Structure 1
Amino acid sequence: MAFVDLRPSRGWGPDTAPGRVGLFWISIWTLFLLQPLATGWQERDRWTGWVGMVLVVAFAVVYVGTFGYQRRRMHAGTFALPTRQGLAVFALLVALAVAQCALLGQSGTASAVYLCVLSVMILDHALRWWLVALTLAVTYAAGILVPGWERDTSLLLAMLAASVAVYGVQHMIAGNVRLRLADDQNQRLAVADERNRFARDLHDILGHSLTVIRVKAELAGRLVDADPPRARAELEDLERLAREALGDVRRAVEGYRELTLPGELTRARAALRAAEIEADLPNSTDEIPGDLRELFAWTVREGVTNVVRHSGARRCVVRLSPTSAEVRDDGRGLAGETAGDGNGLLGLRERASALGATVVCRPGEPKGHTLQVLVGTP
Structure 2
Amino acid sequence: MERAAEVTAGGGSPGGDPLRWALGWRRALLSAGMFVYPLVSMVGVTQYSKGAAAFAGYAVALAFCVAYAMAAVAFVQHFRRRLWVLLGLMTVLFAAELPFARTFGFYLLSVIVSFLAMMQPRRLPLFLGGAVALTLLLPWAVRPWHTGPGWLQAAMVLFTVLVVRGYAELAGANRALLEARAEVARLASEAERNRIARDLHDLLGHSLTAITVKSNLARRLAEGGAERAVEEITAVERLSRQALGEVRAAVSGYREVTLPGELARGREMLRAAGVAADLPSAVDVVAPANRELFGWVVREGLTNVVRHARATRCTVTLSAAEVEIVDDGVGGASGPGNGLTGLRERVAAAGGEVESGPAGPHGWRLRVTVPASADSGAAGSGAAGSGAAS
TM-score (norm 2): 0.52
> Residues of 2 paired with 1:31 and 1:255: CA distance?
58
Query: Which of these residues, 57, 60, 70, is aligned with residue 55 of structure 1?
Result: 60
Match for residue 6 of structure 2?
none
Question: Which whole-Å CA distance do the structure 2 matches of 1:26 and 1:179 have between them?
Answer: 23
Count of residue pairs brought into register by the alignment: 239
Tell me the alpha carbon deviations over residues 240-298 of structure 1, each in whole angstroms, 9 at most, x when there is no partner: 32233223323433559xxxxxxxxxxxxxxxxxxxxxxxxxxxxxxxxxxxxxxxxxx
SS in structure 1 at match of 2:227:
helix
Within-5 A mapping of 1:8-27? 11-15=11-15, 17-19=21-23, 20-27=25-32
> What are the within-5 Å matches in structure 2 for residues 219-298 of structure 1?
219-254=217-252
Q: Comparing both structures, which one devotes a greater share of its residues to helix?
A: 1
One-letter code aligned to 2:176: R
Query: Separation in 2 of the partners of 1:134 and 1:185?
Result: 42
Match of 1:130 in 2: 126
1:189 offset after TM fit, Å?
A: 1.6
1:71 CA drift (Å) = 5.6
TM-score, normalised with respect to structure 1: 0.53
Match in the other structure for 1:143: 139
Per-residue Cα deviation, 1:133-168 (whole angstroms, up to 9, x for no partner): 333333334323446322422111222233334333
Distance (Å, rounded) in 2 between the aligned partners of 1:157 and 1:42: 21
Alignment match, 2:115: 118
Identity of aligned residues (%): 28
Name the SS for the 1:22 alignment partner. Answer: helix
Residue 185 of structure 1: how far off its partner (Å): 1.9
Unmatched 5+ stretches in structure 1 = 1-8, 74-80, 257-378
Which residue number corresponds to residue 100 of structure 1?
A: 97
Q: Distance in 1 between matches of 2:74 and 2:225?
A: 82
Matched letter for residue 239 of structure 1: E
- Alpha-carbon offset, residue 207 of structure 1: 1.6
Aligned residue type for 1:203:
H
Deviation at 1:47, TM superposition (A): 4.9
1:214 is matched with which residue? Answer: 212
Shift of 1:210: 0.7
Distance change in 2, residues 1:183/1:68 (3 Å): farther
Q: Which amino acid aligns with 2:14?
A: P
AA in 2 matched with 1:175: A
Give, as a single letter, the amino acid of the residue that structure 2 aligns with 1:123. Q
1:175 Cα shift? 2.8
CA RMSD of aligned residues (A): 3.4
**Would you say 1:37 and 2:42 are equivalent positions?**
yes
- Partners in 1 of 2:229 and 2:87 — Cα distance? 88
Q: Does the 8 A contact of 1:97 with 1:112 survive in 2? A: yes
* Residue 167 (str. 1) matches residue 165 (str. 2): yes
How far is the alpha carbon of 1:215 from its aligned partner?
A: 0.9
Tell me: higher relative CO, structure 1 or 2? Use CA pairs within 8 A at least 6 residues apart: 1
Q: CA deviation at 1:171?
A: 3.0
Which letter maps to 1:28? G
Alpha carbons of 1:245 and 1:10: their partners in 2 closer, same or farther (altered >3 Å)?
A: farther
8 Å CA contact retained: 1:23, 1:68: no
Amino acid at match of 1:14: P
Deviation at 1:35?
2.4
Larger Rg: 2
